[in-house]
Amino acid sequence: MALEISRKVSREINENLICFSLHGSASRGTDTHWSDLEMLVITREEVPRKSFLKGTVPITVNSITEAKLRLILEEPDLQWPFYAGLVKNLVVLARDKSKPSYYSSIASSLPQEKLRKALKDNLSDLVFESCGRIFSCIARKRYKDIYCAVIETLLEMRTALCLLNCTHVNNEYFEGIGETFKFKRLPKRYPVLATRMWKGGDPFRIVDHSRELLNNYAELLYSERILEEKEM
């Protein structure tokens, strides 16, 4: 199915197409009967994104220009970990098969200072607000909402730790969070606390784990000079 779509899109885009690739669980070989099919076209000029159903299978053909992709990889922001992992795992179905390696080399050769600056510049968008939402759920007695806030917090923590450690993960959701457990720079007791938060259970226990993780995360940012005392 993916090859059929790639041939059709390649004909439509023609010379504008740089490469057509498979990504997501299908490219990693972990897809199931219920998985969607995700593809990426890298082009010289912008083309619209496509999404449709093939039977009951959701299919998405995302698009990005090479210029925009290079800008994301060379001038990092919160999108960098996603795209660095994306280009690492692309499976090219049409056109230039050397491109993913080329893009991945751009990401891997980026100076650490740029990634640490990206984290520092975006601190207010990561972890602190979403973790505060966990505490607000208790204060408002909206206990069922706490689980959504936990997922949001841990996914943002994954992004923050990717930038701090100048790397990316290859998987989504808890598998991707689990990959960060092996990073060099981590909050104290992060694997234990993150796992307990993700598994859920008693909302009040989740709050205890969240508070400890948030304090440990702040300590890490202070020790790495990402967060300064005067900023708090």
pLDDT of residue 232: 46
- Across the strands, what pairs with 95? 19
Contact 207, 149 (CB under 8 A): no
CA pair distance 117, 122, nearest whole angstrom: 8
Q: Which helix (H) or strand (E) holds 60?
A: strand 57-65
Residue 41's pLDDT is 95
Q: Write the CB contacts of 27 (distance below 8 Å, at least 6 apart in sequence).
A: 21, 89, 90, 91
Residue 38 CA neighbour count, 13 Å, CB half:
16
Q: Which helix (H) or strand (E) holds 11?
A: helix 2-13
Helix (H) / strand (E) containing 178: helix 173-180
Joined together, the tokens standing for residue 68 give 């925009």
Residue 230, pLDDT score? 54
Instruction: Domains for the chain: give ranges and CATH numbers.
Output: 2-109 (3.30.460.10), 113-231 (1.20.120.330)
Residue pLDDT tens, the chain, 232 long: 778 888 888 888 889 999 999 887 777 777 777 778 899 999 999 999 999 898 888 989 999 999 999 999 999 999 999 999 999 999 999 999 999 999 999 999 999 999 999 999 999 999 999 999 999 999 999 999 999 999 999 999 999 999 999 999 998 888 999 999 999 999 999 999 999 999 988 999 999 999 999 999 999 999 999 998 754 4
Residue 209 structure tokens: 């784990």
Given a contact cutoff of 8 angstroms between Cβ atoms, the answer to whether 147 and 200 are in contact is yes
